[in-house]
Amino acid sequence: MSQVFDLLIVGGGVTGSALLYLTSRYTDIRHIGMLEKYAAPARVNSLHSNNSQTLHCGDIETNYSLEKALKVQRAARMVENYATVQPDIDHLIFKYPKMVLGVGARECQQLRERFDMLSPHYPNLQLLGPEDIQRIEPAVAESKGGMRADEIIALGSENEYTAVNFEALARSFVRQARRIEGTVVDVRYNRQVAHIKKVGERFIVDTGEEVFEARSIVVCAGGHSLKLAHDLGYGHHFSVLPVAGSYYFTPQVLRGKVYTVQNDKLPFAAIHGDPDVMVPGKTRWGPTALVLPVLERYNWDTLKDFLMVFKFDRKVWDVLYDLLKVTDIRNYMLKNFLFEVPILRRMLFLKDARKIVPDLKYKDLKFAHHVGGIRPQLIDKDHRKLMMGEAKIDTGAGAIFNMTPSPGATCCLENAEVDMRKVAEFLGATVDEEAFAADLLGSDHRHAIEDLPMHFISGDDAA
């Protein structure tokens, strides 16, 4: 046994590194470690090119209920409160106009009703008519030299933080955590955890070459979290459905983020177009939603990991069958499969993208190779359903496992807050509530634990 940690975090994406930062900055937990499989933080879904870089605030996401919107709003503010006081703010968080566009009478009416519901909670949210849309995003409102013919309306704002480089954010968390005096923060890269077991009161974390001991563990390893939970004997009634997202690039036609209204029958968000914070001069379109049998995009070595957690059986089949029997979902899945077929994919995707920019041209659309990650959606076998949003298995015995599809990056600090409190309670440590609230919550006094923005599974349910 080479090390004994009070807390050992597995996975150095934005979720794990946010927890590393919070526990070292705001608790008296003294010996904290983080093991990351790759040579740097955030190389998987938190990588700048693998997600949509959107700070989800809940105001333009038509697939969120009011309750979920307000929970996400709190989480987004925490990220904003952290990022805007960092010396490298310009690498972390970005202001662009944002809007959700309604096209046709039904969607426009839906957005008017949504505005009435949301505006008391979002003072900067505006209901935008065609001329406002034209001023902010001319390519959306215009077509063939005039205004587009179909009815349009949008909900949006112009001067807010709307995009984050979550990879840079993860690096910032690690850098800041390492600077804190009085706490041992031990970050090890190139350490892939193969097994976790419990011996007495201690967790034994095995990378194959080294073995670490810990009093508590939090696993933030995306889809691999479920594999490690299974290894320790938890969460066997969950399977995972990995949903890959691909993107396309065009020359820059949009100034900001333009989302579209969600089809309620579909489990995944409709495509949007926006600037890529790392690729100036282009507009990025997507993501698509393709089910793939891997836990990491473009890494076929994770096929065997997928097979280990997928555990295909009658219950998994029932959930998939329930999805496939809905015509809209079936067509959507087929369309997303065709989005990956060269030549055909550009023609099909163009049709969807033209809902946002009617005059977009086929020749301008390019598939973005090696861009886009995987959303590890959980399948709850007992309740026969596909779970949307983030999921957490809290064993109540010092081990927590996080599975983090969208909007997991926006919720990194709030998710870490929940884990920080649970780990502190388990270890008998204290949280510096005053400093935490002053730095990250500002005037927002809502509590995260009571208002969890995620599926929360207790140890009893999970084991």
Ligand X SMILES: Cc1cc2nc3c(=O)[nH]c(=O)nc-3n(C[C@H](O)[C@H](O)[C@H](O)COP(=O)(O)OP(=O)(O)OC[C@H]3O[C@@H](n4cnc5c(N)ncnc54)[C@H](O)[C@@H]3O)c2cc1C
Site residues (vs ligand X, CB under 6 A): 10-16, 35-38, 42-46, 51-54, 56, 166, 192-193, 220-222, 224, 245, 287, 372-375, 402, 404-410
Least CB distance to ligand X at residue 76 (A): 8
Shortest Å distance, C-beta 251 to ligand X: 22
333 contact partners, CB below 8 Å, separation of at least 6: 289, 291, 323, 324
The answer for 235, left when phi > 0, alpha when psi is -120 to 50, beta otherwise, is left
| Shortest reach from residue 259's CB to ligand X, in Å | 10
Which residue, 136 or 454, is less far from ligand X as judged by CB?
454
| Under 8 Å between Cβ of 294 and 304 | no
Nearest distance in Å: CB 135, ligand X: 25
Minimum CB distance to ligand X, residue 407 (Å): 4
Other CB atoms within 10 Å distance of the CB of residue 164: 26
**Cβ 146 to ligand X shortest distance, Å:** 33
Nearest distance from C-beta of residue 298 to ligand X, angstroms: 12
Peptide bond into 87 cis (omega under 30): no
**What angle, rounded to 10 degrees, do the helices at 66-83 and 166-179 form?**
60
> Can you spell out the DSSP letters for 142-200?
EETTEE-SS-EEEEEESSSEEEE-HHHHHHHHHHHHHH-TTSEEEEESS----EEEEET
Beta pairing, strands 391-394 & 455-458: parallel
Q: How far apart are CA 453 and CA 64, in angstroms?
A: 11
Shortest spacing between CB 374 and ligand X, in angstroms: 5
Nearer to ligand X, 148 or 224 (CB): 224
Distances (CA, A) of 239 to 37, 140, 385, 393, 406: 22, 40, 11, 13, 18
CB of 56 to ligand X, least distance (A): 5
- 91 or 315, CB closer to ligand X? 91
Write the single-letter amino acid at 463: A
287: preceding bond cis by omega (within 30 degrees): yes
Nearest to 60 by CA among 51, 45, 49, 73: 73
Rank residues 141 and 295 by Cβ distance to ligand X and give the closer one.
295
CB of 308 to ligand X, least distance (A): 12
Residue 43 or 148: the one with the smaller Cβ distance to ligand X is: 43
Which CB atom, from 52 or from 62, has the smaller least distance to ligand X? 52
Instruction: Name which of 358 and 401 has its Cβ closer to ligand X.
Output: 401
270, 107 contact by CB (below 8 A): no
Contact in structure between 403 and 390 (CB atoms under 8 Å): yes
Q: Residue 68 Cβ, how far from ligand X at the closest point, in Å?
A: 13
* Residue 163: strand pairing partners: 54, 94
Task: Select 292 or 319, whichever has its Cβ closest to ligand X.
Answer: 292
CB of 14 to ligand X, least distance (A): 5
List the one residue out of 288, 282, 299, 294 whose CA is nearest residue 345.
Answer: 288
186: Cα separation from own chain's centroid: 26
Comparing CB distances to ligand X, the nearer of 216 and 410 is 410
Closest CB to ligand X among residues 155, 221 = 221
Task: Name the residue nearer to ligand X (CB basis): 153 or 220.
Answer: 220
**Which burial class, exposed, middle or buried, applies to 106 when counting CB atoms under 10 A from its CB (0-12, 13-18, 19+)?**
exposed
299, 397, 402 from 460: Cα distances, Å: 34, 11, 16
Q: For 90, list phi and psi in degrees, rounded to 5.
A: -70, -15
Closer of 72 and 118 to ligand X (Cβ): 72
